A = this chain, B = another copy of it.
Amino acid sequence: MEHYFNFTLNASDDRARAGTFTTPHGDLQTPVFAPVGTLASVKAITPAQLEELGASLVLSNTYHLYLRPGDELVAEMGGLHEFMRWPHPMLTDSGGFQVFSLGKANKIDDEGVTFRSHIDGSTHRFTPEKAIAIQENLGADIIMAFDECPEPYNREYNEAALARTHNWAERCLAAKQRNDQALFGIVQGGIFEDLRAKSAEFIASLDLPGNAIGGLSVGETKDEMHQILDVVGPILPKDKPRYLMGVGTPEDLINGVARGVDIFDCVLPTRLGRNKSVFLREGGRLNLKNAPFARDTKPIDENCTCYTCRNFTRAYLRHLIVAKEMLSATLLSIHNIHTLLQLARDMRSAIIAGEFEQFAAPWYVPTKTTTGSL
């Protein structure tokens, strides 16, 4: 493992962990939530605002940046950190998820995936080697193995896809040349506990600096997600960070940390922010466009310390939404990102204080069912 990428467990409380992951661009204090900057921009938020929010890790998307502006251009501009002016840790996904969800994969074989651009329909091909080459051009601190993310309930497809995902992880590791990037493997296997266990064992055996759990939050139930985390968590090595991809909500973060997850990312805070909706820390959301907020002089959340809640009333935010002012996306996204960042910080403090169980109690959902497939 490269010397940059040490993971130190600072404390643990039952399965919940507080750790420190070192990267070339600074330390991540886990649990940590990464806002998503799909196209080298966290939508409607400046890097200065992200720093004020206390963000430490930003995710960007390989598929999108490969298409626009192109990974070679980003490399010429000094890499993603320099291009988008985020001097702190960054992570890029491998493009796997987007190739299947956005890119209309039209030929999947053991070598790679041929797909059509969602922008102009042009044809492109990703292989594990190509996904690594692109991510080396982009230059994030954490890069991801190229994986196949199948429909979660189709067993036959999941078996075939898992074989490819494992083979591709080995090829990614072999293709990787830069030593200042940590390659994380991705556990797949749909909702099938035995496939997930097999995948976790295989990915763990690669001894990468971190491990991710993919293919969740893609249509399965919360309980199924919790089952998978219950199965995968104990198999993945304790001394490596665990990253639950594409998750989530305040509830998902708490239930993930309770099951041993360290790193999260999700577009939800900014997507909801552009769609008039805000997280409530205690659970649920408000749609601020609703008429009852027109004369509501309260902030979104009276206990929230974000810039939006320190300054603006629900009435003003609703006015911005109704008037289609761009500022609404900025102010709502600031609140939503803050909610998840602050929750991660508070979970860390609770874990270090040995009080995670009490902290998590209002949100924690015990896993209810098992498929019995193990």
Contacts and interface: CB of A to CB of B under 8 A. Distances in A.
Interface string A31-70: 0000000011101111111000000000000001000110
Interface stretch (A243-251, A320-328, A348-356): A320-328
Interface residues of A, number: 39
A62 to B, nearest CB: 15
Contacts of A272: none
A28 interface: no
Interface string A288-319: 00000011010000000001000111011011
A343 interface: no
Given A41-B320, A319-B40, A331 B77 contact: no
A331 B42 CA distance: 13
B294 A325 contact: no
A76 interface: yes
Nearest to A325: B41
Contacts of A322: 68-69
Given A327-B43, A327-B46, A330-B44, A69 B319 contact: yes
Contacts of A312: 85
B307 A48 contact: yes
A202 interface: no
Contact of A68 (B49, B323, B331): B323
A41 B323 CA distance: 10
Contacts of A73: 294-295, 315, 319
A83 interface: yes
Contact of A327 (B41, B69, B83, B320): B41
A232 interface: no
A68 B84 CA distance: 36
Contacts of A68: 319, 322-323
A45 B40 CA distance: 20
Contact of A45 (B84, B297, B318, B327): B327
A329 interface: yes
A307 B41 CA distance: 16
A330 B40 CA distance: 15
A68 to B, nearest CB: 5
Given A68-B322, A294-B69, A307 B43 contact: no
19 contacts: A39-B320, A39-B325, A40-B319, A41-B323, A43-B326, A44-B327, A45-B327, A46-B49, A46-B327, A64-B323, A68-B319, A68-B322, A69-B318, A69-B323, A73-B319, A83-B313, A83-B315, A84-B316, A326-B329
Interface of A: 39-41, 43-49, 64, 68-69, 73, 76-77, 83-85, 294-295, 297, 307, 311-313, 315-316, 318-320, 322-323, 325-327, 329-331
Given A47-B311, A85-B311, 9 more contacts: A39-B319, A43-B326, A46-B331, A69-B294, A69-B319, A73-B315, A77-B297, A77-B315, A83-B315
